Structure 1
């Protein structure tokens, strides 16, 4: 079925439900045909019903329809009809910049005057405000984060609410705690709805929502919601699952068969490192691919999106940063290296394919590490009662607004989870964002442990459902749409279980070798800390500003990141909770030696020894958890490198306090003055005054342990201090 901007451009066979065609329908159909430039265009089932509810009845509606059904047709047509009736502009809350760009572009092609206000177009804000004041805007798109911005909330939002003719909540599953991509900022929309005049219609749309999410959205929209749910099955998608033994085989399969996949597409990976490693491997093999992750510069993201839309690259190798709303109707395939944590999230991502094409291939290559990754992200997103209470206590005692940076020196939470927690507390009314930061509202706050327990249980159920999807012998499309509570779920006749395996499983020997070489690559730069965290005086640490050059460490090396595809797996096992301490594995030691060789020769585009002289000796950071591992690694490196091992720094005051996961300020406070150069080490260092030292540790996360240890060595007379560690977190 031909689709233009999500609208059906072919005549549909169904007739209106009644012989009498209403004036609104005639007008809406004329607008649709004008927008798409096709005099034969007609509505899909449910499209006009939603438009009628919004335009004629001023109702609140929830539309749950598969990707490509044409949800944008509903709000663009409704917007123009309401504007003709004298209503103000439509306000669309849209979650992603990529989605906003596509929506603005689609509106412009259709003759709808649409503008956006988001973090990427601040230079255009004044012009947008002028257009709004002149009533020259039909549709305004804003991000949910804008709704929490104090200046926007106080200066622009009241006037927008007064003039809004239609409120649209796109990707509305983000409203729900139960949704796979819940965003606290989206919960503010319920407050926004409550402030709208009762005559203003509201539309919520999503392509992926089960009954639990639908019910949650309906409750937030208010009484009298019209819910239109269609079949979620996609006839264009051919689903399949290929279980391979390990990362080498998955990458080898991609190298062997990427060129055979139809058109251009998306390769999803679960972590940033996996996406970057995969993109590098494919590019080195001659494939036109680009990485697209949370670490990708915004300008590079936009360029990558456009190159894929123009079919000038074979694929984007992406994390969930590509996310919702990416609009390329002819996307030919979606491959997953590792499974998302729920069928809802998976179907959201595969729904990018086959929107305007008759056929698209969707293949899942599960990984043994999937559950471990799911657990990490699920845990990271759940608020803690202890941390929430600490934040509220600090804000309550402050008597004034505190910035996020100031809060970090008072509460042991990293920036991202701290900001997430503040948003949750803000939505619950316990804190508010104002000029200068955050302050307490004084309103009582209750930690709903029962609700969070239910959410955690639901996420485990979703993970189990994803495993069942991988293992099922039945129709994959029927299973995944049934999990989304689609009552019309039925066998598709196209997936690998219905029609037989449609994809090859062979792996070329040269592809397997290339994948092995990629996975065996070693060496990740460990960037030195350059600045002390703010507010350290509050934690009893007398430092601020830049770290003095004569006290700073040099750039170091890690064998790999914990999230890497290659050595990352072995390192994750080594540092998993409950793993016993043991001496370093010989193969891992030899891999570290390879890191040193490449470091010494300045390969991989990095300077030899980070621009410093060859280390004259080896010193280790004392470890309470892995003493045998660190000692054997340091001694092994010293012996192979023919360098003296001078011993370890000493633990003082019981050694480092705290553990992984705290914020930068607390992590520094936890190691400050606790790693010292003892008399024996000081004596051994004395003849080497001014010479470089190789500092060996097992794991770096915040990098403050090696920074403080290196500072102590430099104060004891060492020259450059070059850290070498087994693993880098992240």
Structure 2
């Protein structure tokens, strides 16, 4: 591969000790000045930063840097890149999971004349051009997301080339390598192979702000792959600019009202983290109603909107981004004035990581946690990430071995009863362990022996539980909050900070005016979210003996429906979770819930395309109500359906008959293929109900308590429509997600 070198060449002598330290240090400081936009001679690396740069450039070491956010880890690898490129080294490869931070780093590198490009899920249209630039030697830094390491094309075409020509490998957020860390990512484990394949003498830098002693030792050991012991540079994790506090409030309405009344008291602009997408959307809507300029940033936010939101925050055009963990640690905004958490993360280490973006370039930043009673319920809902039981893993390996060809994840869903995200994570772990391999067309078995490490998986599960317990302790502690977080990270220098609410006294109170509370309550009491229907049958159903494939015929589909709320939101979700909990007693629908369902129907009718709207193509008014049979809550669902019928003056046409095996209809958290398999043939339309449908042709309301996968509604709607019913309009109390 031909490579043009941008940098003016300097003598290579001295990289291993021949060049005077002062000369190399002077050159490094000059690059730093360009990077930060300072006059020549006005910027200087700190001694700990210089030690890391010297280890990489002069000694060609592998180094792990564990330093607090804002210490200047990016300056180390930017300066090291410039020095190495001037000496003829290949491009630097930075592996980072933070897309927002990638974009900031590309811009920062440009200030020092360093040409940086990024390959991630947000810019697939640029990949080919970037590959060509790398091959021509026109790129100094290539930032890649860890998911690219598991891409077949990237792994087989570009990765070997990079491993052979890389001048410096940087692993950002290196705690993700370790499954003992709080944010283990199996894609990162592919770095083991890349580390082993690097040319001799290629330096490696791993960086993180959140590694305790065990994670530090694990990552250092992995960096030692290839025979050289890694240098560990660990500094104190104290953040002198941060003032930590906890504000306890009785419920979600009080927390939103508190935000509305106290947000302007927080200096500058910042980030408001929420635990769920629904909570982020609710908080954003309410704060906008209160006159604040805020933007939502979640996994559902389109890429263009994410870019605009980032730019608006960087330029202080918004007071805050209301974000989920999709924002990660945020991005490089040194003057970020505050971080507020609307709900507790499940790990104090993850919490420290998120708050660490505040106060990097200012003397003072406020960090406030507003915990909620629903936090632990949200933790449990999203906790379905443990490594699957051995039987399911063996079942997957057997299916791949027996197939004799690559199997896609959708095809495997027909064999293994795991949700897609959990199945994909399991396959990535097996890939790293050498038991399976990702190829074009899906996954294959390697045939290599593999053992189930039950001890390790159990330890990780216990660690997650311990982190949750520690987060509860953080909320309730009367000791120093910064010291608490630093001890969670095994920071030897942990001591009282003198600034947090426990050390210096609370600087903000929990007061909320009646007016603000009324507004927040009204926002959270507003019921109604859309429920999207299923339009395609899952892959692999014919292999299960079920003749369903491709697109669901339009005349058998469910229509877009409505739910009072999502179980993950902080409004109706908080009210519905106790009602729909596994151990909740069955009983008649509460009056307030029934009235909310009626209000949802009224809004639905008046919405564009609704049967009470003025649209020329408005749907016809429902002619009756049908209930989905419930094994767990028959009285709740039955009374809801009949109550809606009575209030709406609609006939209650009846309930579908459930004829499936015990528990199949109640099964949740399965993948689509397994869920549909359990529901196939589980419903019948009785003669009585068929007669009622025939006597009342037209749309019907289909009532149930909860929808997760959407397959119960899809199967029930298909039965009703094939029995002669018209359009099926689902109405449920709660939707997942």
Q: TM bucket by the smaller chain?
A: over 0.9
TM-superposition CA deviations, 1:188-207 (whole Å, max 9, x none): 11121111133111110011
Aligned position for 2:656: 649
Taking a change above 3 Å as real, the CA distance of residues 693 and 328 of structure 1, as seen in their structure-2 partners, is same
1:411 Cα offset (Å): 2.3
Which among 626, 633, 651 is matched to residue 633 of structure 2?
Answer: 626
Aligned position for 1:251: 256
Aligned position for 1:667: 675
1:338 Cα offset (Å): 0.6
Aligned position for 1:157: 159
Kindly report the root-mean-square deviation, in angstroms, between the aligned alpha carbons of the 2 structures: 1.8
1:684 Cα offset (Å): 2.4
1:394 Cα offset (Å): 1.1
CA distance in 2 between partners of 1:607 and 1:534 (Å): 35
Q: Where does 1:23-422 land on structure 2 (aligned, <5 Å)?
A: 23-36=23-36, 37-38=38-39, 39-222=41-224, 223-324=228-329, 326-422=331-427
Structure 1, 616-625 or 263-272: larger mean CA deviation: 616-625
CA distance in 1 between partners of 2:314 and 2:670 (Å): 41
CA distance in 2 between partners of 1:675 and 1:538 (Å): 21
1:606 Cα offset (Å): 6.4
1:656 Cα offset (Å): 6.8
TM-superposition CA deviations, 1:289-317 (whole Å, max 9, x none): 11110111111111111111011111110
Structure 1, 288-297 or 141-150: larger mean CA deviation: 141-150
Instruction: State the secondary structure of the residue aligned to 1:336.
Output: strand
Structure 1, 101-110 or 29-38: larger mean CA deviation: 29-38
Aligned position for 1:692: 699
Aligned position for 1:461: 466
TM-superposition CA deviations, 1:549-598 (whole Å, max 9, x none): 22222221111111121121121112222222222112211111111222
Instruction: State the secondary structure of the residue aligned to 2:245.
Output: strand
Instruction: State the secondary structure of the residue aligned to 1:321.
Output: helix
Contact map agreement 1:655 1:675 (CA 8 A) in 2:
no
Instruction: State the secondary structure of the residue aligned to 2:325.
Output: coil
**Please, which runs of 5 or more residues in structure 2 have no aligned partner?**
1-19
CA distance in 2 between partners of 1:142 and 1:615 (Å): 52
TM-score after normalising by structure 2: 0.93
TM-score after normalising by structure 1: 0.94
Contact map agreement 2:334 2:359 (CA 8 A) in 1:
yes
Which among 698, 710, 715 is matched to residue 703 of structure 1?
Answer: 710
Aligned position for 2:11: none
1:541 Cα offset (Å): 1.8
Q: Where does 1:582-661 land on structure 2 (aligned, <5 Å)?
A: 582-602=587-607, 608=612, 611-654=618-661, 657=664, 659-661=667-669
Structure 1, 378-387 or 335-344: larger mean CA deviation: 378-387
CA distance in 2 between partners of 1:134 and 1:633 (Å): 66
TM-superposition CA deviations, 1:58-85 (whole Å, max 9, x none): 1111001111110011111111222222
Contact map agreement 1:238 1:359 (CA 8 A) in 2:
yes
Contact map agreement 2:589 2:640 (CA 8 A) in 1:
yes
Structure 1, 401-410 or 270-279: larger mean CA deviation: 401-410
TM-superposition CA deviations, 1:118-169 (whole Å, max 9, x none): 2333333333233323322221111111111121212112221111111110
Instruction: State the secondary structure of the residue aligned to 1:46.
Output: helix
Instruction: State the secondary structure of the residue aligned to 2:211.
Output: coil
1:608 Cα offset (Å): 4.5
Q: Does 1:442 align with 2:447?
A: yes
Taking a change above 3 Å as real, the CA distance of residues 336 and 85 of structure 1, as seen in their structure-2 partners, is same
CA distance in 2 between partners of 1:160 and 1:704 (Å): 45
Q: Does 1:430 align with 2:417?
A: no
Q: Does 1:718 align with 2:725?
A: yes
Aligned position for 2:684: 676
Instruction: State the secondary structure of the residue aligned to 2:434.
Output: coil
CA distance in 2 between partners of 1:377 and 1:557 (Å): 23
1:187 Cα offset (Å): 0.7
CA distance in 2 between partners of 1:171 and 1:339 (Å): 22
CA distance in 1 between partners of 2:407 and 2:542 (Å): 16
Structure 1, 427-436 or 373-382: larger mean CA deviation: 373-382
1:21 Cα offset (Å): 5.0
Contact map agreement 2:272 2:323 (CA 8 A) in 1:
yes
CA distance in 2 between partners of 1:456 and 1:379 (Å): 11
Instruction: State the secondary structure of the residue aligned to 1:379.
Output: coil
Q: Does 1:482 align with 2:464?
A: no
Aligned position for 1:15: none
Contact map agreement 1:533 1:544 (CA 8 A) in 2:
yes
1:376 Cα offset (Å): 2.8
1:403 Cα offset (Å): 1.7
Contact map agreement 1:612 1:720 (CA 8 A) in 2:
no
Taking a change above 3 Å as real, the CA distance of residues 252 and 663 of structure 1, as seen in their structure-2 partners, is same
TM-superposition CA deviations, 1:399-423 (whole Å, max 9, x none): 1111222222332222222211111
CA distance in 1 between partners of 2:623 and 2:208 (Å): 61
